[in-house]
């Protein structure tokens, strides 16, 4: 009987909390995990294999709905535009470029629509942790190649590579955040890709994104 009363009280308290619509935006630091350098070299004969991998800077923006389930526990589905990919830098594999110290950069510019479904647990006043699955749809995928020497731009071209990439991407996402009484909130999270990004899954390469967000729940 006590258990039933306790569950009823929790349900009543949860129902007293309103469903809140919110918006959020922030910084992405994206990269590829796995056989990423091998995958990039399969797309273009960029260098002789001596490349340095770096994160691609980008952003995310979208909306979410916070649905209270029990005191201190919410389910939060969202819909976000998110920039992902990676960046490789190296020296072009030609003798003349060695003399001029020509540096080249190859950037994968992937644009996704993310649908995360988060379980959010409040462990203090405003402070919370969150985690859940995420499904993403690939909107576009382009590759940009740049090269320069002595302050001169020698190459700056971009082409589409969506046809060889998997349109649907699965990931786990999680992180920590703080929501103020005003509805303003801050969060930091990480997306861990679960499915290879290429259609044939020839190379075990996955998306990886570190996120920092600001938002507001109405």
28 close to 57: Cβ distance less than 8 angstroms: yes
Cα 51 to Cα 106: distance, rounded to the nearest angstrom: 10
For residue 55, give the DSSP letter.
P
Cα 106 to Cα 157: distance, rounded to the nearest angstrom: 10
Question: Is a pLDDT exceeding 80 seen at residue 45?
Answer: no
Phi, psi for residue 30 in degrees, rounded to 5: -105, 155
Q: Give CA 186 to chain center in angstroms.
A: 16
Summary mean pLDDT of the chain: 84
25 half-sphere exposure, CB direction, 13 A CA radius:
3
Question: Is a pLDDT exceeding 60 seen at residue 104?
Answer: yes
CA 216 → CA 25, 66, 92, 117, distances in Å?
A: 10, 11, 46, 18
CATH of domain 17-217: 2.40.160.20
Q: pTM of the full predicted structure? A: 0.82
CA distance between the termini of the chain: 37
Say whether 63 sits in a helix, a strand or coil: strand
Per-residue model confidence as pLDDT tens digits over 9-23? 444 444 568 999 999
Task: Provide mean pLDDT across the span 178-200.
Answer: 95
Structure tokens at 66: 């916070």
For residue 34, name the pLDDT band (cuts at 50, 70, 90): confident
Q: What is the maximum alpha-carbon separation in the chain?
A: 84
Q: Give CA 211 to chain center in angstroms.
A: 7
Q: Give CA 26 to chain center in angstroms.
A: 11
Phi, psi for residue 141 in degrees, rounded to 5: -145, 115
């Amino acid at each position: 009987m006590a258990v039933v009363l306790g569950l009823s009280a929790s349900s009543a308290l949860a129902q007293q909390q309103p469903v809140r619509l919110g918006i959020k935006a922030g910084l992405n630091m994206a990269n590829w995990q796995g056989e990423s350098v091998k995958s990039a070299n399969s797309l273009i004969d960029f260098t002789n294999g001596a490349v340095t991998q770096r994160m691609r800077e980008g952003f995310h923006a979208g909306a979410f709905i916070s649905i209270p389930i029990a005191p201190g526990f919410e389910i939060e589905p969202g819909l976000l535009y998110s920039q992902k990919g990676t960046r490789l830098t190296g020296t072009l594999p030609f003798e003349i470029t060695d003399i001029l110290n020509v540096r080249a950069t190859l950037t994968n510019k992937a644009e996704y629509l993310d649908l995360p479904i988060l379980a959010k647990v409040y462990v203090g006043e405003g402070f919370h942790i969150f985690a859940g699955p995420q499904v993403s749809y690939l909107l576009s995928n382009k590759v940009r190649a740049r090269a320069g020497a002595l302050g001169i731009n020698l190459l700056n071209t971009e082409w589409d590579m969506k046809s060889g990439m998997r349109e649907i991407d699965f990931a786990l996402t999680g992180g920590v955040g703080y929501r103020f009484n005003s509805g303003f909130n801050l969060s930091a999270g990480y997306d861990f890709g679960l499915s290879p990004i290429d259609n044939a899954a020839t190379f075990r390469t996955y998306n990886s994104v570190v996120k920092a967000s600001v938002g507001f729940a109405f």
